[in-house]
Structure 1
């Protein structure tokens, strides 16, 4: 029969001899440096995304519409873009069931300006319709290369 000492009892079994000594954690100074570095990288990434998203950005919104007759509608809209960019916008005239009764693509070329406030301009475009429209909208706008 074997004795408890020879069978590897918990009193004689040493885990560190099998797996090595326990790992040491980071020192408090190393932890502070790691946290500060992570915060710095997060801040730099946020600044980079903010700047890169504002360059080459195109925004548009409906301002109003006028139903001129049964076969014409006029859409007023605002476009915000960089001065040197050319954009195209798809305009729709809709009837009371939201069906498209008129459509037009409008090209907006480069324009002059010096500040952020000058990036926005108001436009008005006339659309021919198949029958009487009840509203006019800007469906989408995109930059032209």
Structure 2
């Protein structure tokens, strides 16, 4: 003869409920659907915001090369890509063999003429004075001015 289990709550279930509180109820199907819809809407809004923000004003920069001319002079060659009417500033550094900054300069890059996307990029060469012999020249960072 099979042994049957009680269908309702048992004494051990009520003891657990007294100790830990009643069992949690799952959200209804409707609540789950609305939560998923809200999460998707929020994700679409975030992607749209990033897309608009990234395309409104762009600024890219890249080191192209450097020349160490002497113990007190160096030059840095770099490419800056920005909107035609934007003004940017870049921080250039000359570093020694222990990565210490031995020369630094901020350069301003103003608006320029152009019509195509390829003309947004410009190449520059800037001279820097150094305190000691450098071994490399880099563009540390660039930013847009208001």
Q: Which residue of 2 aligns with 1:112?
A: 113
Q: Which residue of 2 aligns with 1:95?
A: 96
Structure 1 runs not aligned, ≥5 long: 1-24
Q: Distance in 2 between matches of 1:69 and 1:93?
A: 12
Q: Distance in 2 between matches of 1:121 and 1:82?
A: 11
User: Which segments of structure 1 move beyond 6 Å, counting only runs of 4 or more?
Assistant: 31-38
Q: Deviation at 1:34?
A: 9.1
Q: Distance in 1 between matches of 2:116 and 2:41?
A: 30
Change (3 A) 1:26 1:59: same
| RMSD, aligned CA | 2.7
- In the superposition, the TM-score normalised over structure 1's length comes to 0.69
Q: Distance in 2 between matches of 1:115 and 1:38?
A: 39
Q: Distance in 2 between matches of 1:60 and 1:38?
A: 36
CA deviations over 1:23-66 (Å, ceiling 9, x no partner): xx668xxx999978975774465244213212112211111111
CA deviations over 1:103-136 (Å, ceiling 9, x no partner): 1111100011112222211111010111211000
Q: Distance in 2 between matches of 1:67 and 1:106?
A: 19
Q: Which residue of 1 aligns with 2:68?
A: 67
CA deviations over 1:69-109 (Å, ceiling 9, x no partner): 11111101111111111111110111111111111111100
Structure 2 runs not aligned, ≥5 long: 1-27
